[in-house]
Amino acid sequence: MPFTHTFSNKSKDFSMTIDPRILNLPIRLRRNRKSEAIRKMVQETHLTPHDLVCPLFLVEGEKKHIPIASMPGIERLSVDLAVREAKELHDRGVQSIVLFPVLDPQLKSAEATEAWNENGLLARAIREIKFALPNLCVMADVALDPYTSHGHDGIAGENGEILNDATIDCLIQMSLMQARAGIDFVAPSDMMDGRVGAIREALDDEGFQGVGIMAYSAKYASSLYGPFREAVDVKLNFGDKRTYQMDPANSREALFEAALDEEEGADILMVKPASLYLDIIAKLRDQTKRPIAAYHVSGEYSMVMAAHQAGWLNGPKVFHETLLSIKRAGADLIFTYAAKQVLDQM
């Protein structure tokens, strides 16, 4: 039976009719899998250390490394140890880290003012890491959740609604603080409308044209962020994040969000979480020429680690396969807690 197969690549579709009777030859795809050498020759997707962005959790103090129960193998680090960790990662080929401060509860407030403290934990960490490792690309989240007393990503109004424009004013302060400390990319993860454009304008006005914006464009209201919230010690006092983070049921909306962020000046567009959202990554790949980042989030890490610890699967191998799949779907960069386990296999 002849059959028509449509191949597609990024720019066009083409089809060819394959008739094994005319060829009179069986099609043997297994020839290209025969040996390690041939498999390597025909391998379509490659993971490299350059693809990885490693999140680091920061705490006050010195020589502190505090385990995170729900994320086996990951610790909160004081800045001195974070510098050491960043150096080790950089020595192994990783080009970028992203910083998440764990705040003293006393510094949290309804106004989240600690978020732009020029001498706060995050500012000091950015300065020290950039001083020690000027060639490492340093990013940091721009969202208020570590700093608000209620744990939401924005300023809350009287009825508990998260106020878009009041929050953007804070995000601008926060971005400028990070820029002054030496950040390479600010990473707005708050999902307020219009924040990318507002941050771009504020950065440019202050002379920070060289500071990039890595926008969490399609950030879903996912149940996979639980371990992260334990790591940064953020509990939601009321409600949930569904009035600003996206409904997991939607994909057109994700493309719309990403297109807006791009128009507003985002340099990198992110899809988050990653492995349950490969369809979104693939569709976004067709829509944009911008680099795409995917966040392999805490829950994606912890599920595999739990199964690994139970002896039910091989964690490092599952991580390698997962990250390869994320890249195959179209991501250029992958934020992941499994970086070291995957680097060991490169």
Closest distance to ligand PBG from the beta carbon of 112 (Å): 12
Closest distance to ligand PBG from the beta carbon of 90 (Å): 21
Note whether 145 binds ligand PBG by CB under 6 A. yes
Binds ligand PBG (CB under 6 A): choice among 213, 297, 305, 333 = 297
Catalytic residue among 108, 130, 241, 272: 272
Note whether 244 binds ligand PBG by CB under 6 A. no
**The two three-digit tokens of residue 44, written as one number:** 């379509």
- Determine the residue with CB nearest ligand PBG: 228
Rounded distance, CA 28 to CA 26, Å?
6
Note whether 196 binds ligand PBG by CB under 6 A. no
Nearest by Cα to 240 from 141, 299, 153: 153
Residues 6+ apart with CB under 8 A from 30: none
DSSP of 58-106: EESSSS-EEE-TTSTT-EEEEHHHHHHHHHHHHHTT--EEEEEE---GG
Closest distance to ligand PBG from the beta carbon of 172 (Å): 16
Binds ligand PBG (CB under 6 A): choice among 51, 114, 141, 184 = 141
Rounded distance, CA 226 to CA 297, Å?
10
**The two three-digit tokens of residue 198, written as one number:** 């507002």
Comparing CB distances to ligand PBG, the nearer of 141 and 184 is 141
219 in active site: yes
Closest distance to ligand PBG from the beta carbon of 297 (Å): 4
Closest distance to ligand PBG from the beta carbon of 209 (Å): 25
**Strand duo 185-188 + 292-296: pairing:** unpaired
Burial of 63 (0-12, 13-18, 19+ CB in 10 A): exposed
Candidates 29-37, 101-109, 110-118, 222-230 — which segment interacts with ligand PBG by CB under 6 A?
222-230
What mask, x for binding ligand PBG by CB under 6 A, covers residues 224 to 243? -x--xx-----------x--
End-to-end CA distance of the chain: 42
Candidates 17-25, 31-39, 44-52, 139-147 — which segment interacts with ligand PBG by CB under 6 A?
139-147
Burial string for 131-147 (b: 16+ CB within 10 Å, else e) reads eebeebbbbbbbbbbbb
Candidates 23-31, 141-149, 168-176, 248-256 — which segment interacts with ligand PBG by CB under 6 A?
141-149
Catalytic residue among 130, 219, 241, 283: 219
Neighbours of 30 (CB within 10 A): 7
Q: Are 188 and 265 in contact (CB under 8 A)?
A: no
Q: Are 297 and 228 in contact (CB under 8 A)?
A: yes
Comparing CB distances to ligand PBG, the nearer of 1 and 183 is 183
Q: How many residues line the site for ligand PBG (CB under 6 A)?
A: 11
Candidates 126-134, 140-148, 195-203, 276-284 — which segment interacts with ligand PBG by CB under 6 A?
140-148
Neighbours of 118 (CB within 10 A): 13
Rounded distance, CA 343 to CA 334, Å?
13
Binds ligand PBG (CB under 6 A): choice among 298, 302, 322, 336 = 298
Note whether 98 binds ligand PBG by CB under 6 A. no
Rounded distance, CA 205 to CA 199, Å?
10
Entry field: residues in the chain: 346
Closest distance to ligand PBG from the beta carbon of 320 (Å): 19
Note whether 143 binds ligand PBG by CB under 6 A. yes
Closest distance to ligand PBG from the beta carbon of 338 (Å): 11
Q: What letter represents residue 164's amino acid?
A: N
Would you name the residues annotated as active-site residues?
Answer: 219, 272
Q: Which residues bind ligand PBG (CB under 6 A)?
A: 141, 143, 145, 153, 189, 225, 228-229, 241, 297-298
